[in-house]
Chain A
Amino acid sequence: MKNIGLFKPLIAVWAVVTSFAAQADISDEIKALNVPIPYRDATMMEGAVALRSAVVAVEYADRKMQKRMFSRRIDKDFYPVLIRVTNDSDQRLLVKAPETYLISQNDKFEPEQIHRVFNGLIKTGKTGRALGSIVTLGISNLVGGNNAVMVQYDGDINEPLVQNMYNKSLKFSIVESGDTVSGFLFFEKKAGKGKKIELSLPLQYLNSVETFVVEVPLI
Chain B
Amino acid sequence: MTADKSFIALVASILLFSASFPTSDAQALEQVYAAFEKDGKPTMMYRPKSTPRFNQKYDLTVGILPVKDRRVMNFYWYKDDLFEEPIPQGVTDSLYNELRSSRLFKKVTRLKSPLPPTPDNAALQDYKEEHNIDMVISADLVAFNMLREKAGKMTRGVSTGAIVAAPTRVMVDVSLFAQLIHLESGTLVWADSVERRGQAFALMSVLAPEEVGSLTRQTLGLVFSDLKMLLSAGGKIMVKR
Contacts and interface: CB of A to CB of B under 8 A. Distances in A.
Interface string A166-187: 1001011110000000000000
Contacts of A96: 70
Interface residues of B, number: 56
A9 to B, nearest CB: 12
Contacts of B163: 147-148, 151
A113 B74 contact: yes
A137 B3 contact: no
A159 B142 contact: no
A97 B73 CA distance: 13
A171 B77 CA distance: 17
Interface stretch (A37-45, A56-64, A205-213): A205-213
A155 B22 contact: yes
A148 B205 contact: no
Contacts of A158: 25
Contact of B25 (A92, A142, A150, A159): A159
A166 B140 contact: no
A141 B21 CA distance: 13
Interface residues of A, number: 49
B237 interface: no
Given A129-B23, A129-B26, A137-B21, A94 B177 contact: yes
Contacts of B166: 152
B147 A141 contact: no
Interface string A104-140: 0000000001110001000000100110011101100
A115 B70 contact: no
Interface string B72-110: 111001100000000000000000000000000000000
Contacts of B186: 209
Interface of A: 2-3, 6, 10, 92, 94, 96-98, 113-115, 119, 126, 129-130, 133-135, 137-138, 141-142, 147-148, 150-152, 154-160, 162-163, 165-166, 169, 171-174, 206-210
